[in-house]
Chains A and B, each alone.
Chain A
Amino acid sequence: MDLTPLVEAAQNSALSEWMRTSLKAVAIINALHVLSIVTVFGTIFVVDLRLLGFGNLQRSFIRTHDELLRWTWGAFGIAAVTGVLLFMVNAVTYHRNTAFWLKMATIVLAGINMLVFELRTVKSAPSWDRGVKPPSAARLAAALSIVLWIAVIVFGRWIGFTKGYDFTIPDDVQFDFSAPE
């Protein structure tokens, strides 16, 4: 499937044009994106640690899960909307960027991991809701979740360092890193 026409349409849209020409739009959207991603990671991390057996095992897991995942979902929604906007600003460049696709693939994997947990593993939660270490399926989901969400942040940051110049630097190229005069 060739996404190029769609990607070009996104980049040529009036909204995209406005974001590129506005001085502050990208900076504000970008800050919201980071803010929401760290909230997604942080809230999921607390739930994952509880699944791994850290923290107060006497406290209901279901309660911890329900209280925190509201915030995760809210933040994920903001991250997705701001992410789409940031993509639109330079859609053609991101579309060609390896780190961007690795990030998207990792989000999908994190989503599958979460779906399996929410549709299967959590069904048995009443039997390990408090006082006992969660079963191995739950601990595996938690470990995967931590690794995958950190990978999402790694690839996200990597986009910023590879977009626009996604190529290998030849060995004979020397950079001058000295302070400007």
Chain B
Amino acid sequence: MHAFAEWLQATPLSVAIQSTLWVTPVVQTIHIVMIGIVFVSMLNVTLRVLGRMRADEPLPDVWRRFAPWFWSALGVMAATGLVLAISEPIRQVSALSFWLKMSLLAIGIVSALSFGRAIAGAVAAGAANPTPSGRARVLAVATILLWIAIMVLGRWIAYDVEIWESWHLA
């Protein structure tokens, strides 16, 4: 992995990104704006499951309103994240925070997909306004914590040694 990262970091594309001073801050800014959209879209849906937001709207409507924002912003995040990773691959693969973040992100994506499928299933079964189960409420809280952890770990890539000390992968 480190050999690949070293090769990638020396490619003309990576060098071009690194040596153009404005690219990294601009791409990072887009990345941060997008996580705002991803996180708050997710927050609106999970808080609706918990009955603390948009309780006047059926859950499937809330999901339909926020899912397109969630998925599009997530797509832009993946693209900008890729640019950031290409510009500093050695830093990414050496960071435990990066690998933890990617693992949690995979869980976040799979859980959002299965949540969307569960909503579609409930609607198809005739439940226009399904009442979230106790299990759904627990999962809603877990989802909020999951995305908070993803954001914190994202910020910690830059502080990997300080946070993880000897667990840092360099």
Interface residues of A (CB under 8 A from B): 23-24, 26-27, 30-31, 34-35, 37-39, 41-43, 45-46, 55-56, 59, 63, 67-68, 71, 150, 153-154, 157-158, 160-161, 175, 177-180
Contacts and interface: CB of A to CB of B under 8 A. Distances in A.
Contacts of A55: 65
B1 to A, nearest CB: 14
A155 to B, nearest CB: 9
B43 interface: yes
A157 B36 contact: no
Given A35-B151, A157-B29, A27 B159 contact: yes
B9 to A, nearest CB: 5
Nearest to B32: A153
Nearest to B10: A179
B117 interface: no
Contacts, number: 92
Secondary structure class of chain A's binding surface, majority of residues: helix
B36 A42 contact: yes
A30 B90 CA distance: 23
Interface residues of B, number: 38
Contact of A34 (B10, B24, B53, B155): B155
Given A68-B53, A178-B15, A179-B9, 18 more contacts: A23-B165, A24-B163, A26-B162, A27-B155, A30-B159, A35-B148, A35-B151, A41-B33, A43-B40, A45-B36, A45-B40, A56-B61, A153-B32, A153-B33, A157-B32, A158-B25, A175-B19, A177-B19
Given A43-B40, A157-B29, A178 B10 contact: yes
B18 interface: yes
